[in-house]
Amino acid sequence: MPKKSKRGKKKPELNFIGGDMYVQGEISGLMRLGDKFFNKDTAFTIEERQLLGIHGLLPPVVRSIEEQVELCLMQFLEIESDLLKFSYMLDLLARNERLFYKFVATHLDKCLPIIYTPTVGQACLNAPTIYEQPVCLFITIEDKGHVYDVLKNWPQQDVRVICVTDGGRILGLGDLGAHGYSIPKGKVTLYTALGKVRPQYCLPVCLDVGCNKPQIRDDPLYMGLKRKRPSRTEYDEFVDEFMEAVVSRYGPNCLVQFEDIGNTDAFRLLTRYRFKYSMFNDDIQGAGVIALAGITSAVNITNIKLEDHRVLFQGAGEAALGIANLLLVALKTEGLNDNEARSRIWLRDSKGLVAYNRPQGHLTEYKLAFARRRLPIEKLEDCVREIKPTILIGVSAQYGAFTREVLELMALYNKTPVIFAMSNPPSKAECTAEAAFKYTRGKCIFASGSPSSPIEHEGKTYYTTQVNSLYGFPGVVMGATACAIAHLPPAVFVVASHTISDFCTDEDYRQYRLLPPLSKLCAIAFEIACNVVEYAYKNNLARRKPDPTDIRAFVKHQMYDCNYEPAIKTWLEEYNK
């Protein structure tokens, strides 16, 4: 007979088998040990182990999560190769989710370059050797007509944000097809690690539509569909079906982040979906957020007003146009008209300066918007000579494009040249930090897309900045999902960019750092989330009702806490009442 508590409520049932007692419920103790959501490893207390029927299945020691984190660090540091460290992190995530996020939060500086750029790029290049279990949902073009059914196989019902790639342009590495799946996985991990979005709300998706690189596709170990990418019409029908299936399965509030999609597809999809769905493209808009924050700092450090800067882009793809367009918004806010604002921006693609009357190459409508009416210039060195840019932004995935001559010219024309070598991974960066400081004789402000250490040059230490979208998207995602934003207008990205700039201190500027240190990433994500939520409610874009009275509390309430919950505390408290 179930006992009655003092207040006469029915007590939860205890079961005794052969003198042992275990907790009745749908999830057995053994399942808790094997389930990343519930597992605490050695942090299960003796009492919990006994009640859950797992006593003896763990060594007798009971550790706090902090002690477990320090053990993880020891193990992590023992591993020499970054790729094996990446696998270690995947294993930890698959075994004990909270410990994974606690470890990442405690040792951000060590973990970020492994779970994210640049090691994630290496993981894509070595996909068959690290693939162990489903960390991503694969939907192939052969599932066309049944995309919804595949989505239904993902075990979580309440998905609020999806990061999706088609592997078309993985970082600066080009088309890797299905081997790009680690990219959305890495991004959603940062939604939780930095933005504190609950992990069960996040879904990484790889749309496998084939791969156009024969050396990837014909590798016997290739894991994706062994076919070429489809025609534009077939591709668009498939992605349309995916977006419709997302809405049918998870509702219109589900946010979709597009990541590392091939250039022309990325722009087309963004134009097609940006006001129809809750979505954004990180390589276009996310790059804009962070580069604009970096440029804002460069304005403060160089004491040259934004409107007096001349910005030359090496590369005219997603990042270049995303940054250029956000820069236009910022220039217009300073009072410039459209023509004046555009006149501060130059693009150079693989065929030379983007100009109307150049002989080679067709210009897409996106590039045309920044095309110059002037004689074509081919070489980057000549563009620098002609334009004398104050800021040079590398987004071309061409290693070494910022040659010694380019860097020396930048130093010749500027007291403090600003050099962004944003392409990822480092094997695709336009120059290294060493080269930048050496050839500008220590004069430059340097930023790179992947992390790079401070540089010693002629007895002085020079600091570098990682200008990467990781400063922006976790907060944008947290804010957008918290208030269920209907769509994300450009102003949302300006809000995010300003929030990041506001974190910079005079000390950062004195050290020529364009962005706050990585240790502030979580605080930045929280502020961005609050500011996005505020913007969304003010502009009638938030679908979650009623409007919150206290936005900070509203966001905090939705944040993931990586500390363990007592496995049986509530139950025991209930029992002892």
Ligand X SMILES: O=C([O-])CC(=O)C(=O)O
In the set 282, 349, 430, 508, which binds ligand X (CB under 6 A)? 282
By CB under 6 A, tell whether 117 contacts ligand X: yes
7 residue type, one letter: R
By CB under 6 A, tell whether 421 contacts ligand X: no
By CB under 5 A, tell whether 283 contacts Mg ion: yes
By beta-carbon distance, which residue lies closest to ligand X? Answer: 117
Torsion angle in degrees (nearest 10) through CA of 399, 404, 406, 411? 130
By CB under 6 A, tell whether 171 contacts ligand X: yes
Rounded least distance, CB 257 to ligand X, Å: 10
Rounded least distance, CB 101 to ligand X, Å: 19
In the set 41, 48, 166, 283, which binds ligand X (CB under 6 A)? 283
Which tokens sit at 555? 């966001």
In the set 87, 296, 464, 469, which binds ligand X (CB under 6 A)? 469
For the annotated binding site for a divalent metal cation, the residues are 259-260, 283
Rounded least distance, CB 417 to ligand X, Å: 23
- Point out the catalytic residue in the list 40, 85, 101, 116: 116
Torsion angle in degrees (nearest 10) through CA of 165, 166, 172, 173? 130
Q: How many residues bind Mg ion (CB under 5 A)?
A: 3
Helix pair angle (182-193, 108-115), 10° resolution: 160
Counting every residue written for the chain, the total comes to: 577
Nearer to ligand X, 167 or 449 (CB): 449
Long-range contacts of 103-108 (CB under 8 A, 24+ apart): 103/69, 103/72, 103/73, 103/76, 104/189, 104/193, 105/193, 105/522, 105/562, 106/66, 106/69, 106/73, 107/69, 107/73, 107/76, 108/193, 108/518, 108/519, 108/521
**Contact at 8 Å (CB) between 83 and 52?**
no
**Contact at 8 Å (CB) between 381 and 391?**
no
Q: How many residues bind ligand X (CB under 6 A)?
A: 9
**Contact at 8 Å (CB) between 474 and 464?**
no
In the Cβ-directed half-sphere of 43, how many Cα atoms lie within 13 Å? 20
Q: Which helix (H) or strand (E) holds 89?
A: helix 82-95
For the annotated binding site for (S)-malate, the residues are 169, 424, 468
Rounded least distance, CB 572 to ligand X, Å: 45
By CB under 6 A, tell whether 285 contacts ligand X: no
By CB under 6 A, tell whether 194 contacts ligand X: no
Residue 424 binding: pick among ligand X, Mg ion, none (C-beta 5-8 Å cut-off by kind): ligand X
In the set 260, 318, 508, 527, which binds Mg ion (CB under 5 A)? 260
Q: Is 131 designated active site?
A: no
Rounded least distance, CB 290 to Mg ion, Å: 12
Distance between CA atoms of residues 464 and 435, nearest Å: 12
Distance between CA atoms of residues 225 and 181, nearest Å: 13
Q: Is 116 designated active site?
A: yes
Sheet strands side by side (includes 202-208): 137-140, 202-208, 161-165, 255-258, 279-281
By CB under 6 A, tell whether 534 contacts ligand X: no
Nearer to ligand X, 39 or 189 (CB): 189
Binding site for Mg ion (CB under 5 A): 259-260, 283
Active site residues: 116, 187
Binding site for ligand X (CB under 6 A): 117, 171, 260, 282-283, 424, 449, 468-469
